[in-house]
Amino acid sequence: MTQQNNKVWFITGASRGFGRVWTEAALERGDKVAATARNPESIADLKTKYGNQVLTLELDVTKPGQVKEAVTKAHEHFGRLDIVLNNAGYSLVGTIEEASAEEVRAMYETNVFGPVSVIQAALPLLRQQGHGHILGTSSNLGHVTLPVIGYYCSSKWAFEAIHESLAAEIKQFGIKVTIVEPGAYATEFGSPESLKFAQGMGIYSDFKTEFFAGLQSMERGNPAATPQALFKIVDAENPPLRFNLGSHNLAWTRSAYAERLATWEAWDEISCSAQGN
């Protein structure tokens, strides 16, 4: 594993949370970053502090035209893009019955279609270069689920499937893909900017109260502890397709898959009887 500094990053959602932490950490180690956010004022201080190392761009990932313009501008400005990091996203809070179709669609526009727009804008440039690394911030909830944020979980399951297919399709061009799967961290992800709430129904009030109480007791990781792990991924010659970020994910995922396998195996005789030959 050989470290290669002076990489050029394109990062969405750079104003807060992991996006902000990773943007500043990359700049601190001497890399260059095209940092994007819906509100350019939220990242203006990066330009003051890091000068020509950083290019700040306004970007709403739900606007494909703006996405293509930002990716092209970043590539032209720095001459290449080594790492394209899709980080923008938010969670919709509400049970499956409570959330409206419009609310679910809006979240998918940011969490799923936004990253797809970035990927589709970047791929021709990365192919032309003959290299590149696409990173996507998913979640451990791309493998397991929680109630009350089921639609958010579903967006991460879709995100995972898209990136897994993408990895197989673009390997031939020398382009790598890694899905970064954070567990619970003490970021601004729980802030009003990162959460939207569906209108509640009284029949779920007690259930949600209990659910949120459980979340409050959950141990959260320190976001400042994550950059070095991320750098090991982007500096690796053969980075993993999936990377757990944090110490609690693997046990939870292992348990979930063990339960699924046990269920499939218990019903396997009936499943096989339906084959018909």
Binned at pLDDT 50, 70 and 90, residue 4 comes out as: low
Residues 128-146: tens digit of each pLDDT: 999 999 999 999 999 999 9
Average pLDDT on 162-166 reads 98
Which of 71-75, 185-189, 217-221 is predicted least confidently? 185-189
Q: Which residue in 117, 156, 176, 185 is the catalytic one? A: 156
What does pTM read for this prediction?
0.93
* Domains of the chain and CATH, by start: 8-249 (3.40.50.720)
Q: Which residue in 91, 138, 139, 155 is the catalytic one? A: 138
Residues 27-69: tens digit of each pLDDT: 999 999 999 999 999 999 999 999 999 999 999 999 999 999 9
* 195-197 and 132-137 strand pairing: unpaired
- Residue 138 designated active-site: yes
pLDDT at 215: 77
Query: Is the pLDDT assigned to residue 191 strictly greater than 70?
Result: no
Residues 42-53: tens digit of each pLDDT: 999 999 999 999
pLDDT at 193: 57
Q: Which residue in 117, 152, 176, 185 is the catalytic one? A: 152
Average pLDDT value over all residues in the chain:
93
